[in-house]
Amino acid sequence: MHDALQFLGYFQDYQLTWSFLLDQLVAGLTLGSVYGLIAIGYSMVYGILKLLNFAHGEVFMIGSYIGYFVLTWLGGAADPDLPIAIVIALMFVAAMLGAGALGVVIERFAYRPLREKRAPRIAPLISALGVSFCLQQLAVICFGSVPKQYDSFSFDGGSLFTRVSIGPFEIQYMQVFVIVVTALLMVGLTIFVARTQVGRAMRATSFDLEAASMMGINVDRVIVVTFLIGSALAGAAGVMNGLIFQNVDPYVGFQVGLIAFAAAVIGGIGSIPGAMLGGLAIGLGRAFAVGYVSSSYQDVIVFAILIGFLLLRPSGIFGVPAPSKV
Amino acid sequence: MKKVIVLAFAAVAGVSAVAASVAGADSTRLGSTAAPSCSQALIALTGPYTGPAGTAGLDQKYWGRIFISNWNAGKPIPGVPAGFKRTKLKAIEADTALNPQLAATVAVQLRSNKDLLAVNGFSGSQENVAGGPILRRGGVPFVSGSATRASLTDPITPDGLVLKKQDAAGKILAPVYFRRVVPTDKRQGATDAAFVLNKLGAKSGDRVMTVDQAEAYSVPLITLITQILDKAGVNVSRESQPAAQTDFTSLANKAVAQNAKVVVLATQVASNAQLFFQQLKAKGYKGEFLATDGAFDSSQFTSPGAYISSFSLDINDVPVAKPFVAEFTRKYGQTISFGAPSFVAVQAIAMGISTSCADGRTSRGEVRRDIGKVKMKTSLLGAPIAFDEFGDVVGGVGFTMFQIGGNGSYNVVQKG
């Protein structure tokens, strides 16, 4: 196989090694984990309200800032006042609580009034874009526009980025951390949605909001919980993004948010596992495009493939085609 | 109560929107219909005061302010002859955020201000590509202290900010509106490539990775460096990563797998250079790392061992600059040196305006012409400054190579 591929004259030796393949796989999984966590928020809100919450990327940005300020408050990465594990745990808790609360506030003041007035569907969409720009500009005013650096490479002299050898490939502790935390959050969310009363109410509301309301479900409460959870996950993704990719600035949420939105659509918008799979697909697509084709065309390659996929399956990986009413 | 809360939220949103709309111009008005004045001439300082290059842009703004305060106070300034009759200056400041669309919007606003005689800027090459033609159509001369893209002053390229009228010998017959006090990327590309070959030891057959950030500044610069290295027989891996995408892990994997001897990154976002270098090191990369002048920011790019090129010297080392550096430090804190050429750019504008005001009247056309005639025997940069017929600097300083030290300081390893 190796010889056959090399015979094609395209691939170079290093590209045909297991270690390079697995390195790109880990890079893609790490990036995809961040996209996936954000995509879940898009998907959950859309599943229940049929609303594209374009402010979600900015919730991710605020979560990342909260993580940064907690880290700074606790002495910074180079010389933290507490053990690293506690510092990181506090960063996650603060970011998830802060981002979750922000999501609830956005729902309460930007979306619910429109819902109560039975505004056309375009109105909350514009409201969402407005909130997105407001948050971006408020971040510029409050935090400045120069990127803040987590400097997580300084944690314990860089030990979190130490590579561990597992068979033919190497992985950094930080990459393991991001992938494992994402998996745990996914499992927790799946159990919550499947096994708890609120989770069942969420599923019922997602299926038919009006019917759920008539069955005695407090729909407003379900929506608040949905925003709380989705935004908290975006906050967690913000901290992960800062820990592994270092920088947070007021504009970081916009592009990442768009990519996560694409991930949610690929996965089948409204589907939680679909959103995560969509995120991983884009992360892996980018990593392999850079590794095996060209970094210059990474987005062209990834999105051309995804467009092709959507042409074949418009409702995404786990999406259900909308019934056509005659 | 509910309505009050909703109204309060709307008010906050409104305030944010207003704040956003004024972010493009953080001082005084941009539009006016009066005529230019020689008693206190109006110019504009522009730069990326917000956004990822905010540190560099603020450094430029502060150096512009330092010049104006010294000029208006009649204090000695390097390159200004004793007895030179000065026209006092007043400046408006406009933020372009390193964003071409915003630069174009600012250019429209500045052009419509009939008081305005000249503009210091734009800072980024892509901003000049977008906003430059608008200023040119308004007859506004503009002098940049940092735009290095070579094609900006090349009349035969689409970017050329000079009019494309030349005689058979290639001599420019039409007015030049854009000038700069920094050398072009042709010089930076050649300097960087020579540094990679001669100082960092890349030889024929070695692998070097060159990375641009998919915008107007970095693509031509990296293309030039790649071409020179190619000619030297170096095996160049040409890569590209948009500036907004801040995960370099896949590229770091590739550099390590290719056993690259040097990685060259052209970027205007210093924190991207920092991240890429850190991710390379985390992957076990053993080679050298060189970033171009756009990453010159000692508060954001602090990785020990990395190299960086810059069109500015370490301004702290220039003897004639010492009192100005002291004033800068007193007023704004430590300079990162990036903005020092903007002092000289504003000086060229000031001297041009003063010359044009000799008869008590002036216009944009006269200022444009007289900026072209400015000749400084020396300057804040410790070198003479004049302009050629295309608007490029004659004299000035070359590209200096720095290496980042253990404490994050930028140490000169090769003078320009």
CB–CB contact A145 B283 (8 Å)? no
Say if residues B222 and B264 touch (Cβ distance below 8 Å).
Answer: yes
Contact A290, A279 (CB under 8 A): no
B16 close to A58: Cβ distance less than 8 angstroms: no
Contact yes or no for A31 and B247 at CB 8 A: yes
Measured between CB atoms, does A192 come within 8 Å of chain B? no
Distance between B274 CA and the closest CA of chain A, angstroms: 9
* Whether pLDDT at B5 is above 90: no
Within 8 A of A257 by CB-CB distance, chain B residues are: none
pLDDT of the residue at B146: 93
Which among A28, A137, A172 is the nearest to B282, CB-wise? A172
Confidence of residue A8 (pLDDT cuts 50, 70, 90): low
Average pLDDT over residues A214-226: 93
- Given CB atoms, is B413 within the 8 Å cutoff of chain A? no
B102 contacts B24 by C-beta, under 8 angstroms:
yes
Give how far B287 is from chain A: nearest CA, Å: 17
pLDDT at B20 over 80: no
Q: Domains in chain B, please, with CATH?
A: 17-183+316-383 (3.40.50.2300), 185-310+400-414 (3.40.50.2300)
Confidence of residue A5 (pLDDT cuts 50, 70, 90): low
The answer on pLDDT for A108 being more than 80 is yes
The closest CB to that of B52, out of A14, A110, A147, belongs to A147
Summary mean pLDDT of chain B? 88
B249: nearest CB among A30, A130, A134: A30
Q: Which amino acid is at B85?
A: K
CA distances (Å), A166 to each of A15, B111, B136, B259, in order? 19, 62, 61, 21
- The contacts found for A297-302 with CB under 8 angstroms, 24 or more apart, are A298/B241, A299/B242
Query: How far is the alpha carbon of B220 from chain A, nearest alpha carbon, in Å?
Result: 14
Beta-carbon pairs below 8 A across chains A and B: 121
Tell if the CB–CB gap between A291 and B254 is shorter than 8 Å.
yes
- Which residues of A are less than 8 Å from B300 in CB distance? 146-147, 149
d(CA B239, CA B232): 19
Is residue A37 scored above 80 in pLDDT? yes
pLDDT digits (tens, 9 = 90+) for A84-106: 999 999 999 999 999 999 999 99
> Are the Cβ atoms of B239 and A163 closer than 8 angstroms?
no
> In chain A, what percentage of residues exceed pLDDT 90?
64
- Choose among B61, B117, B5, B179: nearest CA to B363: B117
**Distances from the Cα of B97 to the Cα of A80, A140, B311, B338, angstroms:** 33, 12, 21, 16
Q: pLDDT exceeding 90 applies to what percent of chain B?
A: 68
Give the CA dihedral B310, B316, B321, B324, nearest 10 degrees. Answer: 110
Torsion from C-alpha of A109, A115, A119, A122, nearest 10 degrees? 80
**Interface probe with B: pick from A29, A38, A145, most Cβ of B within 10 Å:** A145
Window 290-349 of B, Cβ < 8 Å to A: 300
Measure the CA–CA gap between B300 and B274, rounded to whole angstroms. Answer: 7
The minimum CA-CA distance between B51 and chain A, rounded to whole Å, is 5
* pLDDT number for residue A3: 57
DSSP state, residue A178: H
Q: What single DSSP character describes residue B198?
A: I
ipTM, 2 dp: 0.86
Q: What is the pLDDT of residues B294-342, one digit of tens each?
A: 898 888 899 999 999 988 778 888 999 999 999 999 999 989 888 999 9
Q: Tokens for A31, please give them.
A: 């990036």
Q: What are phi and psi of B97, to 5 degrees?
A: 55, 20
Long-range contacts of the stretch B363-367 (C-beta < 8 A, 24+): B363/B36, B364/B36, B364/B116, B364/B117, B364/B118, B364/B138, B364/B139, B364/B140, B364/B141, B365/B139, B365/B175, B367/B117, B367/B118, B367/B141
- Our measurement of the distance from residue B179's CA atom to the centroid of its chain's CA atoms, rounded to an integer in Å, reads 12
Q: Is A286 part of the contact surface with chain B (CB cutoff 8 Å)?
A: yes
pLDDT tens-digit profile of B108-131?
999 999 999 999 999 998 899 999
CB contacts of A158 in chain B (<8 Å) are: 282
Confidence of residue A242 (pLDDT cuts 50, 70, 90): very high
- Partner residues linked to B385 by β-bridges: B376, B395
Q: Residue A170: its pLDDT value, please?
A: 82
Q: What is the mean pLDDT of residues A65-93?
A: 95
Chain B interface includes A252 (CB < 8 A): yes
Reported as a single tens digit per residue, the pLDDT across A159-214 is 889 888 877 778 999 999 999 999 999 999 999 999 999 999 999 998 888 899 99
Cβ–Cβ below 8 Å for A17 and B239: no
Give the torsion sign (CA, B285, B286, B291, B295): positive
Distance, CA of B250 to CA of B239 (rounded, Å): 11
Q: Is A23 within 8 Å of chain B by CB?
A: yes
pLDDT at B155: 78
Answer whether residue B349 shows pLDDT above 70. yes
Position B3 confidence tier, pLDDT thresholds 50, 70, 90: low
Q: What is the pLDDT of residues A249-258, one digit of tens each?
A: 888 998 899 8
* Residue A4 pLDDT: 58
Average pLDDT over residues B150-164: 77
Q: Which residues pair with B25 in a beta bridge?
A: B94
Specify whether the CB–CB gap between B120 and B45 falls below 8 A.
Answer: yes
Is the Cβ pair B257, A144 closer than 8 Å?
no
Q: What is the dihedral of CA A30, A34, A35, A38, to 10 degrees?
A: 160
Structure tokens at A163: 């590579």
Residues of A in contact with B5 (CB under 8 A): 109
Chain A residues in contact with B19 (beta carbon < 8 A): 137, 141
- pLDDT score of B357: 96
pLDDT exceeds cutoff 70 at A132? yes
Tell me what the mean pLDDT of segment A261-280 comes to.
Answer: 92
Q: Give SS3 for B164.
A: coil
Tokens linked to B21: 């709309």
Instruction: Give the position of tokens 């392999």.
Output: A288
Per-residue pLDDT, B225: 96
Tell me how close the Cα of A137 comes to any Cα of chain B, in angstroms.
6
Q: Does A154 touch chain B (CB under 8 A)?
A: no
Predicted confidence (pLDDT) per residue in B158-204, tens digit? 777 766 666 777 676 678 999 999 999 899 999 999 999 999 999 99
Looking at A278-287, B25-34, B67-76, B213-222, which range is the least confident one?
B25-34
pLDDT of residue B11 exceeding 70, the answer is no
Nearest neighbour of B51 by CB, restricted to A133, A145, A291:
A145
Give the pLDDT score at A1: 54
pLDDT at B65 over 70: yes
For B17-150, list the strands marked E by DSSP. 41-47, 89-95, 116-120, 142-144
Residue type at position A237 = A
> Does the distance separating the beta carbons of B9 and A163 come in below 8 Å?
no
Q: What is the pLDDT of residue B372?
A: 95
